[in-house]
Structure 1
Amino acid sequence: MIPVAPGRRGDRLAGMVDTIVAQQGRIARAQAKMTGQLVNVLELALSSPEVFTGAVEGRTGEQVRRSLTSELALALHLSDQKVRSLLSTAEVLVAELPDTLRSLKAGRITMQHAECLVRESVGLDREDVKEFERAALEFAETSTPPQLQTKAIRIREGLNPDTITERHTSAVEERRVELWKGHDGMGWVACYGPIDVVQSLHNACHTTAKSLRAAGDERTIAQLMADVFSDATMAGLTREAASEDGDSSRAIRPSVHVTVPVMTLIGLSNEPADLEGYGPIDPDTARRLAAQAPSFTRLLTHPETGAVLSVGRDRYAVPADLRKAIEIRDVTCCFPGCNRPARQCDIDHRVDWQYGGETNIDNCQSMCRSHHTLKHATTWAVERDDSGAVIWTSPLGRSYRIRPESNVGFEPTDTLNGSAPCVEPTVDEEPLGIETVTPSPDDEKWADHYPDEPQF
C-alpha cells in the first residue's frame, strides 16, 4: 500500500509517539544515573562493613553485599536475585564499559542493550573488553536487544582467549533440565544442552506440528508443538532413539542451515562454523552435523563481499531452490527489528502479484506471519532503493532502512523524527501461497506468558 498524508489525527498520533520516545530517553538517563548510585552505595557499604555486620570479627565483603542486597530488595519491592543482577551490572558498566554507560545516559540505547553487553563481556581480558565494547556499542545504537545479542556473540567469539571447542566442552558439562511452576495448573520445562541438539528438537516439533495442521488438525501450531514434544518424550523418545553407546544426539537429523568452512570440514582448520539463528559453533559439532546431513547445498558467493550469487536453478514460480536462496539471503524476517529465522517465514511479494509484481529473488522476501499480515492489512509500505536496501515506511510517516548486508539490523532514514521502535519477534504459522492472511490470535498469545527471568 502507498502511504497517505497522516492528516490532523495522524499528526497528533505522531506527536504522541514522539512524546513516548522522549520518555524512553528519560528512562534510560534515569537508569544510567541509578547505575552510578548503585555503585556508590555498594562502595560505601563495603567501606563501612560495621553498618551491616556490627563489630563481629571475620566479617567479609560478601556478607556486606548480601545484606545490602536484601536492604535494596525490600526497599525497591524486588527480588534478591534481581537486585544482585542490578548491582553486578552496575559494577561492570562503571568499571569496564564506561562508553556503554554514557550511551545509556544519552538515551541512545536502553538498559536491555547495556545488560546484553555486560553479559557478553564477562570473561574477556581488559583490553579485549575495550575492543568488544567499541564494536558492539556501534551496533547496539541501531539494533534491538535480540539483534544485539546475536551480534555480540559473534564479536565475543573473535576475542575470547579460549577456543570455542574448549568452551563448548566445558559448557556441555552444565547440561540439565529445569522445571518451574506457571499459573492455572501449568508449568515450564527447559532443557539446557548443546545448541544443535535443542534447536533440532525444536525444529522437529515445529515441522511435525505444521504437518498435522496441514492434515486438518484444528489445534494451533503452538499447541501442537507442545503436544508433539510431550507425546514424544512420554513415549520414550530418548530411550528409543539412543544409539548403542547411549548417545541420543547421533539420532538427530539436522534440519538447520550450517555453514562450515571447507578447511574446517576436512579437519585442516578449527575455524568455527555458523549455525543458522545462533552463530558460531565448535568445529567438532559442525563436522558431526555435516556427516549426518542428508544433502549439501553449494553456495556461490562473491569473493570480496561474500554475497550469495546462486544456490541453484532459476524458475518462474517459487520453487524450493529459489525459496532457499531467499532464506539464506534474508537471514531473518524482513520487517525491521524482527528476529524470526527466514526458514520459518512466509515468502512475500514485495510488490503484490496482483499489481504486477514478479516472482523472482529481487521481488520476494521472507516475512513472518505476523508482519506479513501487518503489511497487507495496514498502510505499512515497503520498497527497495537503488542500492538494494529495503525501506519500510510506517502509517505515521517514519521510515526505517534495513542494512543491506543482512536483515539483522535497521536504522532510521534521514527524514525520521525520532528513534526507531523496538519490534520483538513473533510466532509464525505455515508458509503462505497467497497474499491474503487470516492468522489465529491463539497461535501467538503463549509468548505473552513466557517468564521474564527463567531459572536457567
Structure 2
Amino acid sequence: MTTTADLDSPAGVLDAVREQHQIESTASIEKFRLAVEWAVMHPAESVVHAAMVDGTEDELAIAGPGAPLVAEFCVAELALALGMSTDAGKRYLGDAVETRYRLPRLWSRVMRGEVPVWKARQIATRTIGLPEDAAGFVDQHVAPVAHRCSYAQIDRADDHARDLYDPDEAEARRAEQAEHRHVDIRLGDVTTDGLVYIEATTDLADALAFEAQVAAKAHDLLGHHPHLSLDVRRSMALGHLGDGIARELVIHTHHDTSSTDGLVRVDNTGSWITVEQLGEWCQQEHTRVTIRPVLDLNEHLHTDRYQPTERLREQVIQTHPTCVFPRCERPSRRCDLDHTVEWPLGPTDSVNLVPLCRGHHRLKTHGGWTYQRTGHRTFDWLSPHGITYRRT
C-alpha cells in the first residue's frame, strides 16, 4: 500500500496511480461477476407462479438468444446498488449475462484482467441482437484482440456476422436504420446565455435541401446584420425558416421585479434568461404571444375525481420534472400520475399526486416496492429486501 511518504516524488505518485488503477480494475471485474450471480439468483422460473396467478411480473430477456432469462423486477434493486437508473442497470446486467453466456472467450479474458469491463460491454451491447451462432463468430474473432480493437472494428465484426448468419435480418436492419431519423432539441441543456443545442439525423436528400434553405436564409440576414459572423447568421436562420407563418411561443417564466439581477427563470427548461432576451423572443415578427394565468406551484389544488384537472396535472409536472423513483430521469410529461396514498383513501390533490414512469409504476404496484413522501420533493423508497433509497 502506498504511504504518504511515497508521494513526495514523481515516481511515488505514478506508483500510487498504478496501484489505484489496479484496485479499480479488480473491483470492476468483481462487480461484473457479481451481476451475473444476481441474475442466476433470479431466474425466470422464480416468477412463473406469480405470472400464472395474476400476470404481474414477467420473465425478462436481457441478453441474446441462448442466454438465461431473469425475473423482471430483480433489475431495479441491483441498479440502485450499482448507483444506476433502472434502465442503465438493465443494460449493465444484460451486458454481463451476454458476455458470460454468449461470449465465453471474452468472459475468460475479462475475468483474467486482460480486457477491461468497459470494452467487453461495448462488444456485448453489439452482439445482443445477433443469433447465437453469430455471437459465437464474433467471440471467436474479436475476443483475442478485444483489448486493442476499435469501435469501428467491433462494428464491422458485428455487421459481418449478421450478414453471414442472418442475411434477412441484416437487410431489415439496413432498412430500419432509415427510421432512426430524428431531430433532438435539447431544451434540458440550455446554457446560461439562453442557447440550446440541436442535433439531427436525416436522409441525405433532406439534409441537402435543409442546407440550401439555411444557407439562403443566412445570406438574406447579411443585409440586416452585416456585423454578425456566418455561423451566427446560420443559427438565426433556423428561427426564420418559417417566416410568414404565425408561431406560438409557449414558455413558463417567473420574474422577481424587486431583484436587481434582471433575470427571468424559464420553467420549461429550468434555465435563466435576461428580461431583454425574453422581450426579443416576444417581439419577433409573426410571433403570437398569449398571456396565461400564473400557475402557483405552492397553491393547493384538488378535485373530487380520480383524474386530476388539467391545471392540477400541470402543477404536479412542473413541481416534479421527472419520475420520482430513485435515479430515474424520465420526463414527468411521459409519466403516469400516481396517488401516493391510493384513491379514494388518498385525495387527488397537489400533495398526493406524483409522476411515476410506467415501469416504476408497475414496480410499485406489483413488485413489492413501497414509498412515502417525506418532504415537498423528497421520497423514501423501501425495496423488497428492506433497503431504503431516498429520492430528492
- Normalised to the residue count of structure 1, the TM-score between the two structures is 0.38
Larger Rg: 2
- Normalised to the residue count of structure 2, the TM-score between the two structures is 0.44
Q: Which has the higher contact order (CA 8 A, sep 6+)?
A: 1
